[in-house]
Amino acid sequence: MPKMLARVCVAGLLALGLATAPTTSQAQPTDKVQPAPAPHTGKVEVSVMVVHATDAGQVDPRLESLKQQFKIMRFKGFNLMSTSTEKLSDGQSVQVNVTGGNKVRVRLLDRTPAQARIRIELYRDNDKRLDTTIRIPRNRTFLVGGPKHDDGLLVFPISVTY
């Protein structure tokens, strides 16, 4: 970094109160770069649930922990159809076959100590209907709305645990 730019940066940080004045008469630029935090190692448990949401009914007792999240949806009844859980390393995926020729593919892209970055693809037969990347906070669940099914909708709660 040129000396003039380094002085301007130090002066700006001092003015904002983000740095303290140097103890010597002139600030010395440093070439040291702080290392990025180490990525989280090990496998991540990824669970993909298939839930049938309808206008009538109740919340399946097996879905009690998601009851608060379901409140944002217009549906009243939520029935757990299936759950698939896999331990994944970065780059690995799990595919869940769903009723009506649908399938959900979830790939763990990477993770930090705070969150996992997940790619979600939804297919009907071989036609891709959804392809998105989301970040799910560690030990949390994200709801993905799916296709219509039997007077309701399929919902895919996706959880990451590590």
- Sheet containing strand 127-137, edge to edge, reads 93-98, 102-111, 115-124, 127-137
Report the pLDDT value the prediction gives residue 126, as an integer from 0 to 100.
Answer: 87
What's the pLDDT band for 39 if we cut at 50, 70, 90? low
Report the chain's mean pLDDT, rounded to a whole number. 82
Q: What is the DSSP string of 134-155?
A: EEEETTEEEEEEEEEETTEEEE
Tell me how far the alpha carbon of residue 5 is from its chain's centroid.
Answer: 38
Which of 61, 92, 82 has its CA nearest to residue 155? 82
pLDDT average, residue stretch 39-68: 92
Taking only the tens place, the pLDDT of each residue in 80-135 is 999 999 999 999 999 999 998 899 999 999 999 999 999 999 999 889 999 999 99
For the chain, report the end-to-end CA distance as a whole number of angstroms: 40
Reply yes or no on whether the pLDDT at 48 is more than 50: yes
Taking only the tens place, the pLDDT of each residue in 2-25 is 333 333 333 333 333 333 333 333
pLDDT average, residue stretch 142-154: 95
Report the pLDDT value the prediction gives residue 35, as an integer from 0 to 100.
Answer: 52
Percentage of residues of the chain with pLDDT beyond 70: 75
- Alpha carbons 77 and 79: distance in angstroms, whole number: 7
Reply yes or no on whether the pLDDT at 32 is more than 70: no
Reply yes or no on whether the pLDDT at 148 is more than 90: yes
Taking only the tens place, the pLDDT of each residue in 55-78 is 999 999 999 999 999 999 999 999
Report the pLDDT value the prediction gives residue 53, as an integer from 0 to 100.
Answer: 98
- With residue 6 as reference, give the H or E element that holds it: helix 3-16
Residue with tokens 């983000």: 18
> Between 7 and 149, where is the model more confident?
149
